Every structure is written in structure tokens, then in C-alpha cells.
Amino acid sequence: MVRDKNRKGLTLGRGREGRQRQSKLETGAQTQTVTQHQTYQKAQDNRNSVSVTVDLFANIADIGNFPDFLKADVKWELMFDSNRQPIPILNSSKMSSETQQSAQQNPAPAPNIPAPLRNLEIKYTKIFINNEWHNSISGKKFPVYNPATEELICEIEEGDKEDVDKAVKAAREAFQLGSPWRRMDASERGKILNKLADLIERDILILSTLESIDAGKPFATTYFFDLPGAIKSLRYSAGWADKNTGRTIPMDGDYFTFTRHEPVGVCGQIIPWNFPIVMFAWKIAPALCCGNTVVIKPAEQTPLTAIYMGALIKEAGIPPGVVNIVPGYGPTAGAAISHHMDIDKVAFTGSTEVGKLIKEAAGKSNLKRVTLELGGKSPNIIFADADLNIAVEVAHQGLFYHQGQCCIAGSRLFVEEPIYEEFVRRSVERAKKRVLGDTLSPGVDQGPQIDKEQFDKILELIESGKKEGAKLECGGCAREGKGFYIQPTVFSEVKDDMRIAIEEIFGPVQQILKFKTVDEVIKRANNTSYGLAAGVFTKDMDKALTMATALQAGTVWINCYSAMSPQAPFGGFKMSGNGREMGEYGLHEYTEVKTVTIKIPQKNS
């Protein structure tokens, strides 16, 4: 593993030397080099060629210094030689003609894939309060299962109201005036966040493996996207720690007036099961950057990486009580956080239904501040002049990434009439190439749904699509055998009033709708209670800007999808949430603005 000289994010080992990967941990002027992990020695798949999930997701540029032509529409694949050694290649069938020509002229190395830890010991299963591990006060535990095998991974201490009270007390004490945390220089907070990012880099193989078995994600996805995403979020907030400044204000009269940006206080944070480690970083990074303390509850389905982070938080030097981790269920631990009278702010990512309950609880308790990132039914609009190769591939990734379990999934795919039939044909062809299987095996690009509840819900919605008259092009059923796997599914001839076009499916189900005019598609795209994201594919920039202005969504992507970075704010319109996460806007959610006015004898300009 090497570092880009211009930034502290992860880049990729290159060439055959990359088979022995190196990780550099930087602390001040010292750099320690640690030999890490070997790449896969042999494939656990009998095919000659298997796809790797470094599929060209729109933000692939985040994971390395790829040439520009590789940042648009390329799909990496892995082939194996006679000794079953991996040989990264480019799949030219996923490229436009211009990209193929550029790739031939500018050959580039592919990323190496390390082997996951198949027999990983689960070291941390307890509640983390005051930098110490605790059993639950009730003595209860809850099971955590691998959705790929339906087998028990371990049991976790189950936090409920009493444990939340204990954690909030620790967080409040850590936030008291004169405490080590409140007295710490802002620049030092930044150093600690960077140290935490360093520790994640050191333990990236452990955390990637935990995330894969816990959340049902292909290992390549957790290693190349989720963990680097968490690291980048921490480093971005670290850079802001001593730059969150107030202003001096030229107030009328003989006064000197300035503003202070002060931390809100104790923050309750509730994160979802679809991106556990990424959401953990998204939540704690801005909160700690601004000087707050935290009580965070991971989803009961996926608590393993969050609990592991407790050990790294202590090792990084974050004072006791600043971050407290309480695993548990929503109706108990989550409700206790939402109603707690000594929590100053709640940040929640999850369903719109639960978001409403949290906002109601905040109003009925101490009117705590609330940030909500909720559901979506995002339109992805493909105009006839779009590059069809790119549009098909990116629309595919924008829906099927993480088995469709993304709040931003482009789940209402509007395609202009002249290219509709061809787009459907290519989309079906692409969906049939997806490889389902063991999430720790190379070549797998689709894992299971998170649990039986989601699995059953998705299958029921697929059946509703069939009954309501949508044309099933492929998939439409579960995979035989263990695990909550659903075959990649594509529907055409979908109408706006069908359930699959209205409800958030959160599964590998692509719905393709037809449109004729710009005005028509704007009206139809906005005809939803959600407003999280939208995509537009066109070569006409006037049309693109018209769409960007007209679409009611917190994020609009033009000729890309899911291109996200810590620098850019993220959040929804309408019932997709309140407030913003990431970017400078995300920091505002974790500060109170205080105006200080001082009477002076005489003011001069």
C-alpha cells in the first residue's frame, strides 16, 4: 500500500510488486513501513475469468491514481494463470470506443486484492463506555448472523435504556468545562482523528473482513471502497478541526461583536446496517472535529466493525467518555437515545418511518437538534443522446451496488423512448453477468440481502411487479441454497403507479420506465415523497443544467452516479431527511453559533 504524496488517503499497490502489500503509518516526521498481506494465491472459483467488484463505480478515482480515462467507464476483471495466480485485466466490453483506444495507448496496472481472514477471531463483543468494555446491565445478549450462510457469528452484549443512561453520563462528564477534551487544542483533535485513520489503515484487513461477513458485502467492496471511504471521512474532518472559525461583525454603536462556533454537546448517533463502518466515520468524525462527545448505536444486524472501533478509539488517545458505543435494538437503545433529556443532538441514518419517530421523540423530550438521512426512490434519467455504454454500466452500478441496499440507489430508471428497447436489452445482458456467491471469494460481485426480513420484503415486491403488469426481463426469484441471495432482477414496461416504482425496494431490482419529453420526465421524477438523489445522462449541457435545477433532490449527478466524497455535502429534500452530512455544511450541524458583544469606549473603523 502506498500513499499519494499529495494526500493522506489510501492508494493502491501497483504491479507484481503489489502482491506483497505495504502500509505506511505516518506519525509526524516518522514513517513506519509494515509488510501486510499477500494477494489471493488461487481462485476459489472454477471459471477462467471472474469479475472483481472494483466495477467502475463513479467514484473509482478515489481509490488510486488511475489515468483519467480509467475514471469514466472501465470495469476491471481478474483472470487466473495456470498456477491460479491473479492477472488483472481490463474488460474492454465495458468501455466506449474512445476509452478502448486510450486504454491501448496508456496501459495501466490494476489493483491487487488481498486475501481476507477466513478464520478471524471476534475479539470485541461488549459495550464500550468510558474507554472500557462493559457487559450489559440487564445481562442480555443478542445474536449476529452471517447473511451469506445464515450461521451465527457471535453474540453481542445488548444495550438498552440503562446502558444508554450510563453512556450518556460518561459523555456528559467528558464534555464538562475544564475536562481534558474541552481543554484540548483544536489542532490536537485533528491529530487524534488522523491517528484514528492511521489505525484503521493498519487494521484494514481485519475491518474489511468483519464488514464482509457481518454485512454480506463482497470483500473487494469493503476493502477498496468502504474502508477507504471511512478513512477519508476522518482525515477530512481532521483537517477542519482548527479551521471552524467565527467572525467579527461591524455592529452599530460602540460595540465589539464576534461569533464563536461552539460544540453542541452530547450527540446521540444511530447508524444503519448497509454501510456500518462508513456511517460510523460519517457520524463521529464531524462531531469530534467540532469538540462534541458521542453515544453511538450501531445497527443490531451489523455491530462488529463499530465495536472494534472502540479499541482503536482508545488506542488513538481519545479521552474516556468522548466516544461511547452501545449496541442494541432500535425500540430499546435507539428509543432511549431519541428520548434522552441529556442528549443535545441526534443524528440518524435509516428509514423514513423511524426518522419520523426520532423527530417526534426529540420534540416530546428536550427539543434536541435532529439530523436525518432517510430513504429514497431516486430517479436516474437517460436521454437519447447519452453515451449508451457508460449510461448502461453506471446505471447498473447505481442500482445493483451492495445488492441494491443503498438509500441513493437509482431505482427509478427513466429512459428516453428512442433508445428504450436497446437500453433494456443491454441492461438485462449486464445484469445476467453478475456473480453471486461467498462474499470472501474472489470474483463475487453480489452478496446476500442483510436478513430474512429484507429478503422476504424484496421478493414480495418482485411478485407485486409481476402481478401489476411489469415485464420481468430476468431474475425475479431467490437463489437456491443457504443465504439470503436474490437473483439480479430487471423489469421493463414499468408504470409510475406500480408499487415497484413507488416503494423503496432496497434490493437488486432494476425498474426501467419510458419517457418522451423533458417536461414529462421532470414532472414524473419529482412525483415522489422522497428527494435524496437523482442522476442525468446527456451530452447536452443546457439540458443537464435544466434538469439539475428542476429535480427535487439533495444531490444531482450529471453523467455519473454515486460520486461521493467527504468534501461534498449530502442529504435529502422532502421525506428523505433534514440537514446535511459531510463537507463544511456537515460541520454546521455539530456547532452552536454564539454571538458575543462587548461595550467599548469608542469604536473606530
Is the CB of residue 91 less than 8 Å from the CB of residue 75? yes
Provide the residue type at 263 as one letter.
P
Q: Is 150 left (phi over 0), alpha (psi -120 to 50) or beta?
A: left
Is the CB of residue 64 less than 8 Å from the CB of residue 466? no
Confidence at residue 117, expressed as pLDDT on a 0 to 100 scale: 95
Known catalytic residue at 463: no
CA distance 231 to 11: 12
CA distance 3 to 508: 35
Is the CB of residue 232 less than 8 Å from the CB of residue 59? no
Provide DSSP, 58-102: TTGGGGS---GGGGTS--EEEEE-TT--EEEEE-GGGS-HHHHHH
CA distance 388 to 419: 9
Give the list of residues 6+ apart from residue 136 with CB closer than 8 angstroms, or none: 127, 157, 158, 159, 160, 163
What does the block give as the cell for 243? 479551521
For residue 159, what is the DSSP state? B
Pairing of strands 49-51, 76-80: antiparallel
Helix (H, G, I), strand (E, B) or coil at 585: helix
Q: Residue ranges of the domains in the chain? A: 16-105, 127-374, 379-564+571-576
- Decide if 127-374 and 379-564+571-576 have a common fold: no
Catalytic-labelled residue, pool 158, 373, 416, 504: 373
Confidence at residue 1, expressed as pLDDT on a 0 to 100 scale: 32
CA distance 147 to 434: 18
| Helix axis angle, 518-526 to 541-550, nearest 10° | 30
What does the block give as the cell for 7? 494526500
User: Beta-carbon neighbour count of residue 22 at 10 Å?
Assistant: 14
Helix (H, G, I), strand (E, B) or coil at 24: strand
Provide DSSP, 335-395: HHHHH-TT--EEEEES-HHHHHHHHHHHHHTT--EEEEE-----EEEE-TTS-HHHHHHHH
Give the list of residues 6+ apart from residue 554 with CB closer than 8 angstroms, or none: 531, 532, 533, 570, 571, 572, 573, 576, 577, 580
Confidence at residue 65, expressed as pLDDT on a 0 to 100 scale: 34
Strands (E), 244-368: 248-249, 255-263, 266-270, 293-297, 323-325, 345-349
Helix (H, G, I), strand (E, B) or coil at 295: strand
Confidence at residue 114, expressed as pLDDT on a 0 to 100 scale: 85
Q: What is the block-wise mean pLDDT of the chain (605 residues), using blocks of 10 residues?
A: 32 31 32 31 32 33 33 37 37 45 49 86 98 99 98 98 99 98 98 99 98 97 96 98 97 98 99 98 99 99 99 99 99 98 99 98 97 98 98 98 97 98 98 97 95 98 98 98 98 98 98 98 98 98 98 98 97 98 97 98 94
The H helix count followed by the E strand count for the chain is 18, 25
CA distance 243 to 22: 33
Q: Classify the C-alpha dihedral 577-580-582-583 as positive or negative.
A: positive
CA distance 328 to 164: 10
Give the list of residues 6+ apart from residue 28 with CB closer than 8 angstroms, or none: none
Is the CB of residue 564 less than 8 Å from the CB of residue 570? yes
Phi/psi at 474 (5° precision)? -165, 160
Please choose, from the candidates 335, 338, 330, 334, the residue with its C-alpha nearest in 3D space to the C-alpha of residue 365.
338
Q: What is the CATH number of domain 127-374?
A: 3.40.605.10
Q: How far is CA 266 from the centre of its chain?
A: 24
Confidence at residue 350, expressed as pLDDT on a 0 to 100 scale: 97
CA distance 94 to 60: 15
**CATH pick for 379-564+571-576 out of 3.40.1190.20, 3.40.605.10, 3.40.50.10540, 3.40.309.10:** 3.40.309.10
CA distance 113 to 40: 7
Is the CB of residue 380 less than 8 Å from the CB of residue 414? yes
